[in-house]
Amino acid sequence: MPITTCVFDAYGTLFDVAAAARECAAEPGREAFGAKWQQVATDWRLKQLQYTWLRGLADAHTDFWEVTQNGLDYALEASNLTGDAELRERLLALYWQLSAYSEVPAMLTALKSAGLNTAILSNGSPDMLSGAVQSAGVGAVLDDVLSVQDVGVFKPHKSVYGMVGVRFNCQPGEVLFVSSNCWDACCAAGNGFFTAWVNRAGEPMDRLPWQPQVVLSDLTTIPDIAAAN
């Protein structure tokens, strides 16, 4: 069954989740934060993800902006930076303007030129995703931006992946799903998608019942993979 639809996770896949902390650290007067920004960025992302999983298990859904703030508050406390309210607000503001990875615009343009459907499928709330898409300038090469807010549960719940077939009237085997989160790519494969894991950091494979069909270091070859399957 040929690929007709290419769907991407947003944060960490199309958009660099470390960009907010990195850009903040480079601003004048941020020397104290500059010494700790990498640890803050790592803790922030880890807790953001963990809180989505825990809320899903506890049936305590909320919007992604709340867990993003919760994750940052944990990360700042872990690095003894809780006393700087202005720093917190600056980091949160920058999260609405995350940079896209350098290969993203050309990659999405190539997919659209090949006549494929393109979309985001993300834990992000619609307003957050709209801000990121606008900041990255990729709205013209995306057919839709799908948010878990419409089903009221975070990934990797099956209902999230089911949104793709409903939106594009396609079978799971027609979907190339791409994520920087191994667990996300694995669970999408378990739902019948052809999946690619963008493993920029060279991490080990997650031990789950399913595995992505392709492992990549960046998104450059996604149009070739879509064309070949």
Residues 205, 206, 212, 213, Cα dihedral to 10° = 40
Q: Which three-class secondary structure state does DSSP give residue 176?
A: strand
Report which residue type is found at 75: A
pLDDT tens digit at each of 229 positions of the chain: 799 999 999 999 999 999 999 999 999 999 999 999 999 999 999 999 999 999 999 999 999 999 999 999 999 999 999 988 999 999 999 999 998 999 999 999 999 999 999 999 999 999 999 999 998 999 999 999 999 999 999 999 999 999 999 999 999 999 999 999 999 999 999 999 999 999 999 999 999 999 999 999 999 999 999 999 8
CA 61 to CA 152: how far, in whole Å? 6
Q: Of residues 9, 16, 43, 184, which has the active-site annotation?
A: 9
> 5-15+99-228 sits in which CATH class?
alpha beta
- How far is CA 88 from each of CA 100, 157, 165, 225, rounded to the nearest angstrom? 22, 31, 39, 40
9 noted as active-site residue? yes
Q: What CATH number has the domain spanning 19-95?
A: 1.10.150.240
12 φ/ψ sector (left φ>0, alpha ψ -120 to 50, else beta): left
Listed by start position, the domains of the chain span 5-15+99-228, 19-95
* Full-model pTM: 0.95
